[in-house]
Amino acid sequence: AGAAMAEGEGLLSVDYEVSGKVQGVFFRKYTQGEAKRLGLVGWVQNTSHGTVQGQMQGPVARVRELQEWLRKVGSPQSRISRAEFTNEKKITALEHQEFQILK
């Protein structure tokens, strides 16, 4: 098995948007921390309409973990009302170097 990744462990790219009390509660910083812990790349930013949005890329199982985290956990002070995931697609290579917070 000379493959860099385990069988069936393709890479996934998913866009996300989280609604609720998610701005001003270190949500981006915690999301970045969780993504880095899982070894994911992508980005996160606040939107002008009070949500947090971004993109995550990495092994399918890890992406699923961050999706669950965005649905249910978030930062300690946050209150998530909804997490939406869109543009899910298989990718052959990561399109980001790291997971960063965009202004």
> What is the rounded distance in angstroms from the CA atom of residue 71 to the CA atom of residue 103?
22
Q: What positions carry a catalytic annotation?
A: 28, 46
> What is the rounded distance in angstroms from the CA atom of residue 68 to the CA atom of residue 60?
13
DSSP letter at 53? E
Residues 6+ apart with CB under 8 A from 85: 14, 15, 16, 67
